[in-house]
Amino acid sequence: MASADSDIQMLKGTWDYVDGENFDEYLKEAGISWVLRQAAKAVTKEKMIISADNNGKWTLKSESTLKNTVYEFTPGVEFNETRADGAEVKSTITFDNNTSRWIHNAIDKQGKLVHIERYVDDKDKQQVELTCGNVKARRRRALYLSEYQQTREPSNQRTFSLQDMLFQDNEEDKTRTTRIIPDIPDPVLTSDLSTSLIDVTLKNNRPISSPPVGKKTKQHAHRFRPIDLILKMKLNSRECVLLILLIISIILALLAPVVTIKLFCKSIPCNTTMTSGKLSAI
């Protein structure tokens, strides 16, 4: 069973606000103005940091979108505290070893007493009980987790290793002893250090998928043919139509000068005679 002192030490850390009950009525009873109470309701993120040094001095720091406050104290010694609303109060904090609770009593200038108790429950949540007059309120906090820690939180989902997926596919396999996968050697790489480190070849693993290369194949191995590029292209119906229209337009562009010359020659009558094997126009 943990000691009372260790239970008090559990209050150290960074705490996030979770939820609360009757907090607005508590603030109203404590003399907090309506404007500040509405601002307190609008606070969405609130973080509390509790720490202690080796000399027994404790520090409580509260961070929120409304205001940041901090105070230091030595257990059992009265100190001046400035609340979030700016009011100055006389506070004393003690640790009850019987109940493992943090007891905080604060008295304002009008003599109104505020009583606060903190403790960590069996679910590792910080419970805060607040009393002012006849009004009681409660607030609950949880230890702050960074984004990395949140992703590393244990879940109820079962995780499987590669060995589980290979050898434990059914319920019967779960009772079997673990089998170790033998190491399968990779292809042995050898290097000829006498030439260069780049000359690396596979030992006793001659490629069998490559066809033999002849003289004619070597000559045409790197020749680029546009038709090969066209045949390898994956085209949809619209692209096929556009490609056909492009080919037709290229053919027409090549034939246009020939047709034009023929039409021009037909439009001009000319007589030609062959003299001494030479062509002369009359």
Q: Which two tokens stand for residue 120?
A: 């960590």
What pLDDT is attached to residue 146? 56
Please give the pLDDT value at position 64. 87
Asked whether the predicted pLDDT for residue 215 surpasses 60, the reply is no
Q: What is the pLDDT of residue 262?
A: 81
Indicate whether this model's pTM tops 0.85: no
Mean pLDDT, rounded, for 221-226: 58
Band (pLDDT 50/70/90 cuts) for residue 86 is confident
The average confidence (pLDDT) of the chain is 75
Residue 160, class by beta-carbon neighbours within 10 Å (0-12 exposed, 13-18 middle, 19+ buried)? exposed
- What is the enclosing helix (H) or strand (E) of 127? strand 125-132
d(CA 31, CA 44): 22
Quote the distance between the C-alpha of residue 243 and its chain's center: 45
Taking only the tens place, the pLDDT of each residue in 87-96 is 999 999 999 9
57 Cβ neighbours under 8 A, 6+ residues apart: 72, 73, 74
Kindly report, residue by residue over 37-57, the tens digit of the pLDDT. 988 888 878 899 999 998 889
Strand partners, 187: none
Q: What is the mean pLDDT of residues 181-185?
A: 53
The average pLDDT across 62-87 equals: 91
pLDDT of residue 67 exceeding 70, the answer is yes
DSSP β-bridge partners for residue 278 = 275
What the chain holds in terms of domains, given with CATH numbers, is 4-149 (2.40.128.20), 225-272 (no CATH)
pLDDT given for residue 208 in this prediction: 53
Contact 81, 58 (CB under 8 A): no
∠ CA 251-256-262, nearest 5°, is 130
